[in-house]
Amino acid sequence: MALKPLIGVTACVKQIGLHPYHVSGDKYLRAVSVAALGLPVVIPSLGDLTEIDDLLAQLDGLLLTGSPSNVEPFHYQGPDSAPGTDHDPQRDATTLPLLRAAIAAGVPVLGICRGFQEMNVAFGGSLHQKVHELPGMLDHREANHPDLAVQYAPAHAVNVQPGGVFQALDLPQVFQVNSIHSQGIDRLAPGLRAEAVAPDGLIEAISVEHSPTFAVGVQWHPEWQVLSNPPYLSIFQAFGDACRQRAAQRNKR
């Protein structure tokens, strides 16, 4: 029986009591297990202490999670964040170089929410910090409701763009997604293509052009109840298939 692919999952640095912890959300780890059919392993945000090449040589895939924190805007020459904005500089120092190296090494990548934004920033794109304040744009933030089922309920449609990864996966031309973010892509990075857009024109999914393997980011949260949402599941299954292909190649060496 073939071993499950080893999929690295990024972590945020959180202060709990007097000590900092490296944490990754349960829903991401479970989705890797049940939808991508991989073995998740949490990657600590240790920045310069991370031996990126050694790490990637042992991974079959990389999942970049969402987070309450935002990428610090100096990484994309943006204006200072509003007072009180949550940042995670240790995560930035880890994920941005890790992303570039993973793509260069042919490691399958799936970026979600903050991870989607990290993909754009890592390759030279920029972000809107408050999409809801832009003229003509939807309010993409979650519902102000204590129930997660309400917060993660379908919020708007996305329209799949022709000729890309999503079309090749035979995803529906239009499908509904949740929406739990205030930031969004401003300038799309060179080498990335839009895979799906919201009704207001905001880019909601991207892929790395000319990537030899799966390299996709989505602004929404497909890990949420992934087994009961066919488009979400298709994305995770395609990611998992690519990770298994890399695992088979690694095991031949």
Q: Looking at residue 239, which CATH number applies to its domain?
A: 3.40.50.880
Question: Catalytic residues, which ones?
Answer: 113, 221, 223
pTM exceeds 0.75, yes or no: yes
Cα–Cα distance measured from residue 31 to residue 22, given in angstroms and rounded to the nearest whole number: 19
Q: Percentage of residues in the chain with pLDDT exceeding 90?
A: 96
pLDDT band at 253 (very low <50, low <70, confident <90, very high): low
- Sign, Cα dihedral of 38, 221, 123, 162: positive
H or E segment and range at residue 248? helix 230-252
For the chain, give the mean pLDDT.
96
- As given in the structure block, the two tokens for residue 45 are 């945000």
173-203 burial code (b ≥16 CB/10 A, e <16):
eebebbbbbbbbbbebbeebbbbbbbeeebb
Domain range enclosing 212: 4-249
Interval 170-211: pLDDT, tens: 999 999 999 999 999 999 999 999 999 999 999 999 999 999
Number of domains in the chain: 1
Is residue 130 pLDDT above 80, yes or no? yes
Whole-number pLDDT of residue 247: 96
* pLDDT tens sequence across 98-122: 999 999 999 999 999 999 999 999 9
Amino acid 107: pLDDT = 98
Tally of CB atoms within 10 A around 27: 18
Cβ atoms within 10 Å of 96's Cβ, excluding its own: 17
pLDDT class of 251 with cuts at 50, 70, 90: confident
Beta bridge partners of 193: 207
- The 10s digit of each residue's pLDDT in 50-73 is 999 999 999 999 999 999 999 999
Q: Note whether 197 and 161 are within 8 A (CB).
A: yes
Q: Using an 8 Å Cβ cutoff, are 132 and 139 in contact?
A: yes
- So what's the pLDDT on residue 1? 59
